[in-house]
């Protein structure tokens, strides 16, 4: 857990946590330098059980409609819909892993990788970042979530926007505390170096 010292190699460690629904998450942390850090949170894969359950319900419903209507197009339409639905789900909905990269002089980058390989990235420059906090909110029940507070250009101590991170993985508080502590170290260092030009 110590810094890399004089070596050039990145330090890595991996720990296992759970999300708010009870699924297993893997938190993979890499130190590229003392103040450049990457967190990668892997979500649980799509389970065979849920896939077969959805497919069976769709096909049974289609077969029920077919016995009512005697039109065989319904069966082929059901197969088509199942395939397209699965592809669409993997490409647009199911997230495989989420990454948070903090570089103290540059900014914070969040990447979401979908199960089909698609990646969507958001970058926030360090000048806009006010703080990274753990907040509690109501989302069907009370959950803890990590978010980035952005500075208000008009008011020095105000908050203009809240950007939640790890939205799809939804880890529990123990994982969030790990990420929060590391982020606060880097932010404290960044504030110290920016305050003394």
What letter would DSSP give residue 47?
P
**Closest CB to other proteins among residues 130, 189:** 130
Rule CB under 8 A: which residues touch other proteins? 130-131, 133-135, 137-139, 145, 147, 149, 158-164, 167, 177, 180-181, 184
**Closest CB to other proteins among residues 91, 191:** 191
CA distance 138 to 12: 34
Four-CA torsion 61, 65, 71, 76, nearest 10 degrees: -10
**Closest CB to other proteins among residues 25, 147:** 147
Taking the complex as a whole, the smallest distance from the CB of residue 179 to other proteins amounts, in Å, to 10
Taking the complex as a whole, the smallest distance from the CB of residue 30 to other proteins amounts, in Å, to 22
**Closest CB to other proteins among residues 76, 161:** 161
Task: Tell me, letter by letter, the H, E, C secondary structure of 66-92.
Answer: HHHHCCCHHHHHHHHHHHHHHHHHHHH
Taking the complex as a whole, the smallest distance from the CB of residue 127 to other proteins amounts, in Å, to 17
Point out which residues pair with 109 in neighbouring strands. 101, 123
In terms of C-beta density within 10 A (0-12 exposed, 13-18 middle, 19 or more buried), how is residue 131 classed?
A: middle
Taking the complex as a whole, the smallest distance from the CB of residue 19 to other proteins amounts, in Å, to 15
Taking the complex as a whole, the smallest distance from the CB of residue 180 to other proteins amounts, in Å, to 6
Q: How far is C-alpha 10 from the chain's CA centre?
A: 22
H runs (alpha helix) in 17-164: 48-69, 73-88
**Closest CB to other proteins among residues 6, 138:** 138
């Amino acid at each position: 857990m110590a810094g890399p010292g004089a070596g050039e190699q990145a330090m890595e460690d991996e720990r296992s946590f759970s999300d708010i629904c009870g699924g297993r998450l893997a938190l993979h942390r890499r130190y590229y330098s003392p103040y450049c850090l990457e967190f990668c949170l892997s979500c649980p894969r799509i389970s065979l059980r849920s896939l077969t359950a959805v497919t069976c319900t769709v096909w049974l419903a289609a077969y029920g409609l077919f016995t009512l209507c005697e039109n065989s197009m319904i069966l082929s339409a059901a197969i088509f819909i199942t395939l397209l639905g699965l592809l669409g789900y993997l490409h647009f909905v199911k997230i495989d892993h989420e990454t948070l990269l903090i570089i103290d002089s540059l900014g914070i980058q969040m990447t979401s990788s979908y199960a089909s390989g698609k990646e969507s990235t958001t970058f926030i420059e360090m000048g806009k970042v006010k703080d990274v906090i753990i907040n509690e909110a109501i989302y069907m029940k009370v959950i803890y979530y990590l978010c980035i507070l952005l500075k208000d250009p008009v008011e020095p101590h105000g908050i203009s926007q809240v950007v939640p991170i790890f939205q799809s993985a939804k880890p529990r508080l123990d994982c969030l505390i790990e990420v929060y502590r590391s982020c606060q170290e880097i932010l404290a260092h960044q504030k110290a170096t920016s305050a003394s030009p």
